[in-house]
Amino acid sequence: MATTERTLVLLKPDAVARGLIGRVVQRFEDAGLKVVGTKMVQMDADLAKKHYFDLEERFGKDVFDLTANFMQMGPVIALVLEGIEAVANVRRLVGSTFPNESAPGTIRGDFAHVSKAFSQANKIVAANLVHASGKPDEAKYEIDLWFDSAELFDYQTVAEKYTF
């Protein structure tokens, strides 16, 4: 059964620095997702460790260090989006982790191009603009990490009449 969900999206330092905030948020809103929380944050080492708590275990210390350092290079925009099957729909809109594998029409496919091979060969992060929660339980953890309940809003949009 389709359910209304909330999910976390981070517009990474490369998206902020390139001035893509509005264009990326518009993609989510155009798809019928509602912004229920937003803020600009400078990620510090503690937040990076909490957010990427399992990255080192899964991919090694080098990947964790590269990712954490990249995410601390500049501010990020943290968003909580709400919609029907929001987690899966946001992942579909964002595209594959590696931009060169993302389909045209996805955020990463349209605005980035770095490949896994290039990033590994150069020991850099594949600048892919956006983090999106992968599963509903991950989304809940991440939303609770990034937002207090007072920073999240319940309201109705005109579009909900047609999409929810």
Q: Which domains does the chain have, with CATH numbers?
A: 4-148 (3.30.70.141)
Strand 4-11 vs strand 76-84: parallel, antiparallel, or unpaired? antiparallel
pLDDT bucket at 164, cuts 50 / 70 / 90: low
- pLDDT, tens digit (0-9, with 9 covering 90-100), for 18-70: 999 999 999 999 999 999 999 999 999 999 999 999 999 999 999 999 999 99
pTM, two decimals, is 0.95
Residue ranges in the chain assigned as alpha helix (H): 13-17, 21-30, 45-51, 55-59, 61-71, 86-94, 107-111, 116-121, 136-146, 160-163
- pLDDT, tens digit (0-9, with 9 covering 90-100), for 114-138: 999 999 999 999 999 999 999 999 9
Q: Which residues are catalytic?
A: 131
Residue type at 108 in one-letter notation: R
DSSP 3-state of 70: helix
pLDDT bucket at 159, cuts 50 / 70 / 90: confident
Predicted pLDDT of residue 1: 61
